[in-house]
Structure 1
Amino acid sequence: MIIRDATDDDWPRIWPFFQQIVAAGESYAFPLDLDLDTARPWWMEQPPGRTVVAVEGDRVLGSAKMGPNRPGRGSHVATASFMVDPTATGRGVGRALGEHALAWARAVGYRSMQFNAVVETNTPAVTLWKALGFTVIGTVPEAFDHPRHGLVGQHVMHQEL
Protein backbone atom coordinates (compact mmCIF):
# COMPACT_ATOMS: atom_id res chain seq x y z
CA MET A 1 0.00 0.00 0.00
CA ILE A 2 1.23 3.46 -0.95
CA ILE A 3 -0.16 6.73 0.38
CA ARG A 4 0.17 9.66 -2.00
CA ASP A 5 -1.45 12.98 -2.81
CA ALA A 6 -4.80 12.56 -4.53
CA THR A 7 -5.10 13.72 -8.13
CA ASP A 8 -8.15 14.81 -10.10
CA ASP A 9 -8.16 11.32 -11.65
CA ASP A 10 -8.57 9.75 -8.20
CA TRP A 11 -11.88 11.41 -7.39
CA PRO A 12 -13.99 9.06 -9.58
CA ARG A 13 -12.33 6.14 -7.71
CA ILE A 14 -12.98 7.70 -4.29
CA TRP A 15 -16.60 8.59 -5.11
CA PRO A 16 -18.08 5.03 -4.94
CA PHE A 17 -17.00 4.41 -1.35
CA PHE A 18 -17.57 8.06 -0.37
CA GLN A 19 -21.16 7.69 -1.61
CA GLN A 20 -21.61 4.34 0.15
CA ILE A 21 -20.27 5.62 3.48
CA VAL A 22 -22.31 8.83 3.39
CA ALA A 23 -25.47 6.91 2.42
CA ALA A 24 -24.96 4.47 5.32
CA GLY A 25 -25.30 7.47 7.64
CA GLU A 26 -23.20 6.07 10.46
CA SER A 27 -20.20 8.39 10.51
CA TYR A 28 -20.56 11.54 8.39
CA ALA A 29 -23.17 14.29 8.31
CA PHE A 30 -22.60 15.26 4.67
CA PRO A 31 -25.69 16.20 2.66
CA LEU A 32 -27.43 13.12 1.28
CA ASP A 33 -28.21 14.59 -2.14
CA LEU A 34 -24.59 14.86 -3.30
CA ASP A 35 -23.56 13.52 -6.69
CA LEU A 36 -20.13 12.98 -8.27
CA ASP A 37 -19.65 16.69 -8.98
CA THR A 38 -21.24 18.28 -5.91
CA ALA A 39 -19.48 15.90 -3.50
CA ARG A 40 -16.01 16.64 -4.85
CA PRO A 41 -15.42 19.92 -2.96
CA TRP A 42 -16.59 18.29 0.28
CA TRP A 43 -13.61 15.89 0.09
CA MET A 44 -10.92 17.16 -2.27
CA GLU A 45 -9.12 19.81 -0.18
CA GLN A 46 -7.46 22.89 -1.56
CA PRO A 47 -4.21 24.31 -0.11
CA PRO A 48 -3.25 24.72 2.65
CA GLY A 49 -5.12 21.45 3.10
CA ARG A 50 -4.53 18.30 1.12
CA THR A 51 -6.23 15.05 0.23
CA VAL A 52 -4.37 11.76 -0.01
CA VAL A 53 -5.24 8.28 -1.20
CA ALA A 54 -4.05 4.87 -0.05
CA VAL A 55 -3.53 2.80 -3.18
CA GLU A 56 -2.61 -0.72 -4.06
CA GLY A 57 -1.82 -0.83 -7.76
CA ASP A 58 -4.64 1.04 -9.48
CA ARG A 59 -7.10 0.48 -6.63
CA VAL A 60 -7.91 3.26 -4.15
CA LEU A 61 -8.36 1.58 -0.76
CA GLY A 62 -9.09 4.73 1.21
CA SER A 63 -8.61 8.45 1.42
CA ALA A 64 -7.97 11.19 3.96
CA LYS A 65 -8.29 14.94 3.86
CA MET A 66 -6.38 17.19 6.22
CA GLY A 67 -5.58 20.80 6.89
CA PRO A 68 -6.14 23.57 9.40
CA ASN A 69 -9.02 23.06 11.79
CA ARG A 70 -9.83 26.77 11.74
CA PRO A 71 -8.49 29.78 9.85
CA GLY A 72 -6.47 32.63 11.30
CA ARG A 73 -5.71 32.28 14.98
CA GLY A 74 -6.84 28.65 14.97
CA SER A 75 -4.70 27.60 12.01
CA HIS A 76 -1.98 26.05 14.20
CA VAL A 77 -4.36 23.15 14.96
CA ALA A 78 -4.82 20.53 12.24
CA THR A 79 -7.84 18.39 11.53
CA ALA A 80 -8.41 15.39 9.29
CA SER A 81 -11.16 13.11 8.00
CA PHE A 82 -10.84 9.55 6.77
CA MET A 83 -12.74 7.08 4.61
CA VAL A 84 -11.80 3.49 3.88
CA ASP A 85 -13.48 1.50 1.14
CA PRO A 86 -15.66 -1.00 3.07
CA THR A 87 -14.20 -3.80 0.93
CA ALA A 88 -10.73 -2.92 2.34
CA THR A 89 -11.78 -2.88 6.02
CA GLY A 90 -9.45 -4.75 8.38
CA ARG A 91 -6.34 -4.29 6.23
CA GLY A 92 -4.79 -1.44 8.23
CA VAL A 93 -5.74 1.25 5.72
CA GLY A 94 -7.31 3.54 8.33
CA ARG A 95 -4.31 3.21 10.63
CA ALA A 96 -1.89 3.94 7.79
CA LEU A 97 -3.89 7.01 6.75
CA GLY A 98 -4.07 8.20 10.38
CA GLU A 99 -0.34 7.78 10.90
CA HIS A 100 0.29 9.58 7.61
CA ALA A 101 -1.93 12.53 8.58
CA LEU A 102 -0.22 12.86 11.97
CA ALA A 103 3.27 12.72 10.42
CA TRP A 104 2.28 15.32 7.82
CA ALA A 105 0.81 17.64 10.46
CA ARG A 106 3.98 17.39 12.55
CA ALA A 107 6.23 17.95 9.51
CA VAL A 108 4.46 21.13 8.43
CA GLY A 109 4.40 22.61 11.92
CA TYR A 110 0.94 22.10 13.39
CA ARG A 111 0.90 22.12 17.21
CA SER A 112 -1.95 19.63 17.62
CA MET A 113 -4.66 17.76 15.74
CA GLN A 114 -8.34 17.91 16.61
CA PHE A 115 -11.23 15.86 15.31
CA ASN A 116 -14.43 17.85 15.74
CA ALA A 117 -17.08 15.17 15.24
CA VAL A 118 -16.26 11.50 15.80
CA VAL A 119 -19.58 9.69 16.18
CA GLU A 120 -19.44 7.94 19.56
CA THR A 121 -20.99 4.73 18.17
CA ASN A 122 -18.24 4.49 15.52
CA THR A 123 -16.27 2.13 17.77
CA PRO A 124 -13.61 1.18 15.19
CA ALA A 125 -12.72 4.84 14.62
CA VAL A 126 -12.78 5.79 18.31
CA THR A 127 -10.60 2.78 19.15
CA LEU A 128 -8.13 3.56 16.37
CA TRP A 129 -7.80 7.24 17.25
CA LYS A 130 -7.24 6.39 20.91
CA ALA A 131 -4.58 3.85 19.88
CA LEU A 132 -2.88 6.60 17.86
CA GLY A 133 -2.75 8.88 20.90
CA PHE A 134 -5.96 10.91 20.72
CA THR A 135 -8.06 11.59 23.79
CA VAL A 136 -11.74 12.40 23.97
CA ILE A 137 -11.85 15.92 25.39
CA GLY A 138 -15.61 16.19 25.27
CA THR A 139 -18.77 14.76 23.77
CA VAL A 140 -21.57 16.82 22.32
CA PRO A 141 -24.73 14.94 23.35
CA GLU A 142 -27.26 13.94 20.69
CA ALA A 143 -25.29 15.79 17.98
CA PHE A 144 -25.61 13.05 15.35
CA ASP A 145 -28.78 11.40 14.07
CA HIS A 146 -27.72 7.79 13.59
CA PRO A 147 -29.97 5.62 11.39
CA ARG A 148 -29.99 2.71 13.89
CA HIS A 149 -29.20 4.24 17.27
CA GLY A 150 -31.07 7.52 16.98
CA LEU A 151 -29.51 10.63 18.48
CA VAL A 152 -25.98 9.88 19.67
CA GLY A 153 -23.05 11.98 20.80
CA GLN A 154 -20.11 13.22 18.81
CA HIS A 155 -16.68 13.18 20.41
CA VAL A 156 -14.18 15.98 20.08
CA MET A 157 -10.81 14.23 20.05
CA HIS A 158 -7.40 15.86 20.43
CA GLN A 159 -3.70 15.08 20.31
CA GLU A 160 -0.73 17.37 20.92
CA LEU A 161 1.92 17.01 18.26
Structure 2
Amino acid sequence: MTDIIKRSARAILLDGEELVLIKRTRPGRDPYWVTVGGGVEDDDVSVEDALRREVFEELGGTVGRAELVHLVTDRLEGGLGVQHVFAARLESMDLTARTGTEFSKPERGSYAVVRIPFTAEAIRSIELMPPALADFAAENTEAIRSVLDTPIRKD
Protein backbone atom coordinates (compact mmCIF):
# COMPACT_ATOMS: atom_id res chain seq x y z
CA MET A 1 0.00 0.00 0.00
CA THR A 2 1.29 3.45 -0.91
CA ASP A 3 1.32 6.14 1.76
CA ILE A 4 -0.31 9.48 1.05
CA ILE A 5 2.36 11.99 1.91
CA LYS A 6 0.75 15.17 0.66
CA ARG A 7 -2.93 16.09 0.53
CA SER A 8 -4.31 19.27 -0.89
CA ALA A 9 -7.69 20.85 -1.54
CA ARG A 10 -8.46 22.81 -4.72
CA ALA A 11 -11.59 24.58 -5.95
CA ILE A 12 -13.15 24.79 -9.36
CA LEU A 13 -14.51 28.08 -8.10
CA LEU A 14 -17.36 29.73 -9.96
CA ASP A 15 -18.50 33.32 -9.64
CA GLY A 16 -21.62 33.51 -11.76
CA GLU A 17 -20.60 32.09 -15.14
CA GLU A 18 -16.89 32.74 -14.60
CA LEU A 19 -14.11 30.56 -13.24
CA VAL A 20 -11.94 32.26 -10.62
CA LEU A 21 -8.26 31.38 -10.96
CA ILE A 22 -4.84 32.52 -9.81
CA LYS A 23 -2.46 33.58 -12.60
CA ARG A 24 1.05 32.73 -11.47
CA THR A 25 3.94 34.72 -12.87
CA ARG A 26 7.30 33.47 -11.64
CA PRO A 27 10.80 34.60 -12.57
CA GLY A 28 12.21 32.52 -15.43
CA ARG A 29 8.95 30.78 -16.30
CA ASP A 30 6.02 31.48 -18.62
CA PRO A 31 2.81 32.45 -16.80
CA TYR A 32 0.44 29.66 -15.82
CA TRP A 33 -2.88 29.44 -14.00
CA VAL A 34 -3.96 27.42 -10.97
CA THR A 35 -7.19 26.88 -9.14
CA VAL A 36 -7.53 28.32 -5.65
CA GLY A 37 -6.29 25.90 -3.02
CA GLY A 38 -3.33 24.39 -1.25
CA GLY A 39 -2.08 21.86 1.23
CA VAL A 40 -4.10 20.28 4.00
CA GLU A 41 -2.58 21.30 7.33
CA ASP A 42 -2.48 19.30 10.56
CA ASP A 43 -5.02 21.56 12.26
CA ASP A 44 -7.57 21.32 9.41
CA VAL A 45 -10.53 19.26 10.65
CA SER A 46 -11.29 17.98 7.14
CA VAL A 47 -10.21 18.43 3.55
CA GLU A 48 -13.23 20.67 2.99
CA ASP A 49 -12.16 22.83 5.95
CA ALA A 50 -8.73 23.10 4.30
CA LEU A 51 -10.43 24.28 1.12
CA ARG A 52 -12.38 26.97 2.97
CA ARG A 53 -9.21 28.13 4.75
CA GLU A 54 -7.31 28.31 1.44
CA VAL A 55 -10.11 30.31 -0.23
CA PHE A 56 -9.87 32.81 2.61
CA GLU A 57 -6.06 32.93 2.57
CA GLU A 58 -5.79 33.36 -1.20
CA LEU A 59 -8.88 35.51 -1.91
CA GLY A 60 -10.12 36.83 1.41
CA GLY A 61 -13.12 34.84 0.24
CA THR A 62 -15.86 32.52 1.36
CA VAL A 63 -17.71 29.76 -0.44
CA GLY A 64 -21.08 28.17 0.16
CA ARG A 65 -21.67 24.57 -0.75
CA ALA A 66 -18.56 22.66 -1.81
CA GLU A 67 -18.86 19.31 -3.58
CA LEU A 68 -15.96 16.91 -4.09
CA VAL A 69 -15.92 16.20 -7.83
CA HIS A 70 -12.47 14.85 -8.71
CA LEU A 71 -9.15 13.53 -7.41
CA VAL A 72 -5.78 14.19 -9.03
CA THR A 73 -2.93 11.95 -7.91
CA ASP A 74 0.79 12.40 -8.35
CA ARG A 75 3.64 10.04 -7.57
CA LEU A 76 5.98 11.86 -5.22
CA GLU A 77 9.22 10.79 -3.63
CA GLY A 78 8.19 8.56 -0.77
CA GLY A 79 4.51 8.25 -1.61
CA LEU A 80 1.50 9.74 -3.26
CA GLY A 81 0.13 13.27 -3.54
CA VAL A 82 -3.65 13.55 -3.65
CA GLN A 83 -5.41 16.75 -4.71
CA HIS A 84 -9.06 16.79 -3.66
CA VAL A 85 -10.89 18.93 -6.23
CA PHE A 86 -14.12 20.57 -5.13
CA ALA A 87 -16.69 22.50 -7.13
CA ALA A 88 -17.90 25.58 -5.29
CA ARG A 89 -19.47 28.98 -5.83
CA LEU A 90 -17.76 32.10 -4.53
CA GLU A 91 -19.96 33.92 -1.98
CA SER A 92 -17.67 36.82 -1.12
CA MET A 93 -14.18 38.09 -1.81
CA ASP A 94 -12.03 40.85 -0.31
CA LEU A 95 -8.48 40.77 -1.68
CA THR A 96 -7.34 43.16 1.05
CA ALA A 97 -8.07 40.35 3.55
CA ARG A 98 -5.71 37.83 1.89
CA THR A 99 -3.50 36.17 4.49
CA GLY A 100 -1.41 33.62 2.59
CA THR A 101 2.30 33.77 3.40
CA GLU A 102 3.12 33.54 -0.32
CA PHE A 103 1.97 37.13 -0.86
CA SER A 104 4.82 38.48 1.28
CA LYS A 105 7.54 36.67 -0.69
CA PRO A 106 8.34 38.60 -3.89
CA GLU A 107 10.81 35.90 -4.95
CA ARG A 108 7.83 33.58 -5.47
CA GLY A 109 6.40 35.86 -8.17
CA SER A 110 2.92 37.28 -8.45
CA TYR A 111 -0.50 35.81 -7.71
CA ALA A 112 -3.08 37.69 -9.75
CA VAL A 113 -6.75 36.81 -9.32
CA VAL A 114 -8.35 36.42 -12.75
CA ARG A 115 -11.71 35.32 -14.10
CA ILE A 116 -12.30 33.49 -17.34
CA PRO A 117 -15.55 32.23 -18.86
CA PHE A 118 -16.37 28.78 -17.50
CA THR A 119 -16.25 27.15 -20.93
CA ALA A 120 -14.14 24.37 -22.37
CA GLU A 121 -12.69 26.78 -24.93
CA ALA A 122 -11.58 29.33 -22.33
CA ILE A 123 -10.07 26.66 -20.07
CA ARG A 124 -8.15 25.13 -22.98
CA SER A 125 -6.87 28.57 -24.05
CA ILE A 126 -4.69 28.95 -20.93
CA GLU A 127 -2.06 26.80 -19.24
CA LEU A 128 -4.14 25.61 -16.28
CA MET A 129 -2.08 23.39 -14.00
CA PRO A 130 -2.03 20.52 -13.42
CA PRO A 131 -3.00 19.33 -16.91
CA ALA A 132 -5.17 16.53 -15.50
CA LEU A 133 -7.29 19.12 -13.67
CA ALA A 134 -7.50 21.31 -16.78
CA ASP A 135 -8.72 18.36 -18.83
CA PHE A 136 -11.30 17.39 -16.21
CA ALA A 137 -12.66 20.94 -15.90
CA ALA A 138 -12.83 21.49 -19.68
CA GLU A 139 -14.59 18.17 -20.27
CA ASN A 140 -17.11 18.60 -17.45
CA THR A 141 -18.32 22.21 -17.40
CA GLU A 142 -21.99 21.22 -17.72
CA ALA A 143 -21.74 18.49 -15.09
CA ILE A 144 -19.97 20.82 -12.64
CA ARG A 145 -22.64 23.51 -13.09
CA SER A 146 -25.31 20.85 -12.60
CA VAL A 147 -23.74 19.59 -9.37
CA LEU A 148 -23.69 23.12 -7.95
CA ASP A 149 -27.16 24.05 -9.19
CA THR A 150 -28.97 20.90 -8.00
CA PRO A 151 -30.60 21.51 -4.62
CA ILE A 152 -29.65 19.21 -1.77
CA ARG A 153 -32.60 17.12 -0.65
CA LYS A 154 -33.44 17.44 3.02
CA ASP A 155 -35.61 14.50 4.02
> TM range, normalised to the smaller chain?
under 0.3
Higher fraction of helix: 1
Higher fraction of strand: 2
TM-score by length of 2: 0.26
Higher relative contact order (CA 8 A, sep 6+): 2
